[in-house]
Amino acid sequence: MKTNFLQTPIDYLKGVGPGRADLLRQELGIHTYQDLLNLFPNRYLDRTRYYKISELQRSTAEVQIVGKVTHLKTVEHKNKKRLVATFRDETGEMELVWFRAHKWIRESLKINRPYVIFGKTNWFNGFSMAHPEMELLEEHKRGLQAGMQPVYPSTEKLSNKGITNRVVNKLMQQLFRETGGRFFETLSAELLDELKLMPKSEALINIHFPKNAEKLAKAQYRLKFEELFYIQLQLIARNMSNKKKIKGHPFESVGKFFTEFYNDHLPFNLTGAQKRVLKEIRNDMGSPAQMNRLLQGDVGSGKTIVALMSMLLAIDNQYQACLVAPTEILAQQHYNGLKELLANMEVSIRLLTGSTPRSERNELHQMLENGELDILVGTHAVLEDKVKFNNLGLAIIDEQHRFGVAQRSKLWHKNTLPPHILVMTATPIPRTLAMSLYGDLDISVIDELPPGRKPIRTVHRYDNNRLKVFAFIRDEIKKGRQVYMVYPLIEESEKLDYKDLMDGYESIEREFPKPDYQISIVHGRMKAEDKDYEMDRFVRGETQIMVATTVIEVGVNVPNASVMVIESAERFGLSQLHQLRGRVGRGAEQSFCILMTGHKLSNDSKTRLETMCATNDGFEIAEVDLKLRGPGDLMGTQQSGVLNLKIADIVKDNDILKAARYYAIKTLKEDPGLKEEKNARIRHTYQQMAKHKNIWNYIS
């Protein structure tokens, strides 16, 4: 089968025509024969069994029956008409009912000819079936018959315009007739043989017209593997080509700054995981290729130290470094933390955000350009064109999912040679998602917490336990500790009867009255200076309780805070709960996280709360989150298109994804340019995909 035949516009397929073609394009994105072929069914109905009318049960769902229409009449009731047919087989009779399209049905129905009908049965003084699918028995036998009937994705508009599942099924049959069911093989004989995969043509026939469940399972595996294999092939090929093509600055020496910091100023011993990750980064930056590495580490795992030591390596090699964060609060926190760590060293570091005064900005720009400034910490302001470096060697991006691709590329152009890139995230990404979203980055994971950190104890309490929770808070404050109380809303919403911030603040003031207790309040609608003032009071220990919305999710580091109370915890997503919990447990004392909820909880909410109480492991939590929410939601809209897969599901098909990645790496290692004859099919398919930018070409 020539592949270019499959690029034929869908208008030319018999049975489509201009009107249907427009609808298929608008509603399902079907422009070509190839797109229709890749419209895979959502589910299948078992059409292997033909029921007799006498076998029908009142609970029977969808059934198919062979029989004849013997009589047709119109029944009127309260200005409404329905068309009723008597349908008989050798064991009994039932009614078929239509509430619309009477004229067309009357004209097309053939009395006393054998039909196969299919649909849901209802019981009311006898069995009936409304709007059945009907096909003359002789046509039914001639068609490409599937034992399991496919149900295709559809939309309300398509159904209303008469493009039913049956119509799509007919179009698919026509497509297979026109192509003869022969399709270009996309995988090498070696892969087909080693993995015992079904050939492409057979897989496509069995995905659309499966004869039985076993053949369907083999067809699904084959097509899922192929989809994931080519995604991984593209990502890995890009990674390999970048390493070859994009030259970086080789940081050849480990000099006085790195050594001095390691020997004299390191506040604690590095964990094994931190040492391993630093070694990976040093190896990358020591080679002439540009580093592109994703650093994953849970809340409090010590990513900042690794980032700083990587920046000191750049400075040792006469380069500058920058760290870009998504918010001013986070940039400020990074800056304060790094400044403190560098207090006794001769390294110049400055902060640049949207609120940096113009006079200070001009001074900063000058210092950057003449090389006086070693490290620049900032927000999106760093990406502006007027910010020019003398010699940028390393760019670190924190919480990468908040930055678009275009923004990241701006950092590349800050220098003649692109800087090494280290992307950090405290939102653990499940391995399956990381392989698909960041398959073109090398991945490092800090999976160990610094010694002396005690795991945070997490408990779930209902609203009627509130007095006990307040008593526990008083005891902690007596010990000199501080407490966060987080609310999901700022003002009362009529639709949601959740505890809101202002209501909560008043009740906490009553329970913890002045002058014995001092309370800070922080929320997103406050002016920046008021917010900073309140946060500052809490950081300095002048207030014992911080009442806040999720603005404290990132950006506050108070080792003395040991209790996190999350009100209406069922309102928060898992990753948000985990991030909020990470605000405590930063000192040596035992910390606690209390999840408060009402008694009415959905199953998903119960799963989230149970997961939080069962584990502190961010990666485990991320896996549960991925199962609950799906990949699109997990990464936000910016990334969701990346995983717009046709047939595979990276949550359910985790094992297939691992196999696909393994074989993609193996193929490219053995034959980087896919030049060998045995990989001719793979090379051809890969080139076609790049050319037509079709279903696989959406990796950002």
Cα separation, 444 vs 297, whole angstroms: 9
Answer positive or negative: Cα dihedral of 468, 470, 473, 477: negative
Q: Could you tell me which residues come within 8 angstroms of residue 166 by beta carbon, excluding any fewer than 6 positions away? A: 133
Cα separation, 522 vs 501, whole angstroms: 10
The reply to whether 658 falls in a domain is: yes
Written as six digits, the tokens of 45 are 């109905």
Cα separation, 587 vs 585, whole angstroms: 6
Beta strands 482-486 and 545-548: pairing type?
A: parallel
Q: Judge if 137 and 272 occupy the same domain.
A: no
Question: What's the half-sphere exposure (Cβ side, CA atoms, 13 Å) at 563?
Answer: 25
Q: Judge if 391 and 480 occupy the same domain.
A: no
Q: Judge if 234 and 326 occupy the same domain.
A: no
- pLDDT recorded at residue 668: 94
Phi/psi of residue 14, nearest 5 degrees: -60, 130
The reply to whether 187 falls in a domain is: no
The reply to whether 639 falls in a domain is: no
Rg (CA), the chain: 32
Q: Judge if 371 and 235 occupy the same domain.
A: no
Task: Identify the domain boundary among 125, 144, 163.
Answer: 144
Answer positive or negative: Cα dihedral of 363, 368, 373, 375: positive
pLDDT in tens, 173-209: 999 999 888 888 999 999 999 999 999 999 999 999 9
Determine which helix (DSSP H) or strand (DSSP E) holds 595, and give its type and residue range: strand 592-597
Q: Judge if 591 and 660 occupy the same domain.
A: no
Residue 522 contacts residue 534 (beta carbons within 8 Å): yes
- pLDDT recorded at residue 244: 80
Task: Identify the domain boundary among 124, 144, 164.
Answer: 144
Task: Identify the domain boundary among 97, 128, 144.
Answer: 144
Overall number of domains in the chain = 4
Residue 548 contacts residue 567 (beta carbons within 8 Å): no
At position 547, the amino acid (one-letter code) is: V
Q: Judge if 316 and 382 occupy the same domain.
A: yes
Q: Judge if 318 and 220 occupy the same domain.
A: no
The reply to whether 40 falls in a domain is: no
In terms of Cβ atoms closer than 10 Å to its own Cβ (0-12, 13-18, 19+), residue 51 is: middle
The reply to whether 237 falls in a domain is: yes
At position 604, the amino acid (one-letter code) is: D
- pLDDT recorded at residue 15: 92
pLDDT in tens, 391-400: 999 999 987 5
Q: CATH number of the domain at 53, please.
A: 2.40.50.140
Cα separation, 646 vs 40, whole angstroms: 7
Determine which helix (DSSP H) or strand (DSSP E) holds 611, and give its type and residue range: helix 603-614
Cα separation, 300 vs 304, whole angstroms: 9
E strand segments, 482-586:
482-486, 519-522, 545-548, 561-566
Q: Could you tell me which residues come within 8 angstroms of residue 426 by beta carbon, excluding any fewer than 6 positions away? A: 297, 298, 299, 303, 399, 554, 579, 582, 618
The reply to whether 643 falls in a domain is: no
Supply the pTM of this predicted model.
Answer: 0.66
Written as six digits, the tokens of 611 are 């997961």
Helix axes 200-208, 165-179, angle to 10 degrees: 160
The reply to whether 193 falls in a domain is: no
Instruction: Look up the domain containing 545 and give its range.
Output: 457-615
Beta strands 133-136 and 320-324: pairing type?
A: unpaired
Q: Judge if 477 and 391 occupy the same domain.
A: no
Give me the average pLDDT of each 10-residue run along the chain (700 residues): 75 92 93 92 84 84 91 88 94 93 88 93 90 90 74 89 90 92 91 96 93 90 94 86 80 92 90 95 91 84 92 96 87 89 94 92 94 94 89 86 58 75 81 69 83 87 94 95 85 51 86 92 80 86 90 68 94 87 86 95 93 89 80 44 70 85 94 94 87 41
Q: Judge if 380 and 468 occupy the same domain.
A: no
Q: CATH number of the domain at 357, please.
A: 3.40.50.300
Residue 375 contacts residue 303 (beta carbons within 8 Å): no
- pLDDT recorded at residue 555: 52
Cα separation, 438 vs 445, whole angstroms: 13
Rounded to the nearest 10°, the torsion over CA 609, 615, 619, 625 is -10
Q: Judge if 431 and 499 occupy the same domain.
A: no
E strand segments, 249-327:
292-297, 320-324
- pLDDT recorded at residue 355: 86
Q: What are the b/e assignments for 113-136, b being 16+ CB within 10 Å?
A: eebbbbbebeeeeebbbeebbbbe
Q: Judge if 373 and 404 occupy the same domain.
A: yes
Question: What's the half-sphere exposure (Cβ side, CA atoms, 13 Å) at 168?
Answer: 27
pLDDT in tens, 448-482: 877 777 889 999 999 999 999 999 999 999 999 99
- pLDDT recorded at residue 640: 37
Query: Which residues share a beta bridge with 211?
Result: none
Instruction: Please give the span between the terminal C-alpha atoms of the chain, in angstroms, as a whole number.
Output: 31
Determine which helix (DSSP H) or strand (DSSP E) holds 134, and give its type and residue range: strand 133-136
Helix axes 603-614, 618-635, angle to 10 degrees: 140
Question: Count of CB atoms within 10 A of residue 96's CB?
Answer: 23
Q: State the maximum Cα–Cα separation within the chain, in Å, rounded to a whole number.
A: 98
In terms of Cβ atoms closer than 10 Å to its own Cβ (0-12, 13-18, 19+), residue 141 is: exposed
The reply to whether 139 falls in a domain is: yes
Q: Judge if 490 and 373 occupy the same domain.
A: no
Helices and strands in the chain, H and E counts:
25, 21
